[in-house]
Amino acid sequence: MEEAEKQRRLAVLGIALSVIQTAIALSEAEPGTALATWLLLLVIVTAIACRLSPRR
């Protein structure tokens, strides 16, 4: 794997971690929105996983 690809993947993983931390903070601050927050998180993580999957 080339260096640019490694850097891109690390950047995407950093964004994913930030999104997860934000979702946890929101679900703790607003308990009524926990389900919506986790569903949004699921969509975002799925999109990130698609970006990280190998190209064909």
Does 40 fall in a domain? yes
**12 occurs within a structural domain:** no
Q: Is residue 48 part of a domain?
A: yes
Residue-wise pLDDT tens digits, 5-55: 788 788 878 887 887 787 778 777 777 777 777 788 788 878 877 777 776
Predicted confidence band at 3 (pLDDT cuts at 50, 70, 90)?
A: confident
**Is 36 among the domain residues?**
yes
35 in a domain, yes or no? yes
What does the pLDDT read at residue 55? 67
Query: Residue 44: what pLDDT?
Result: 82
Residues in the chain: 56
- Summarised one tens digit per residue, pLDDT across range 14-24 is 887 887 787 77
The domain of 41 spans 25-56
Within 8 A by CB and 6+ apart from 23, the residues are 37, 38, 40, 41
Q: Which pLDDT belongs to residue 37?
A: 74
Q: What is the number of structural domains in the chain?
A: 1
- Residue closest to 38 by CA, chosen among 14, 56, 20, 17: 20
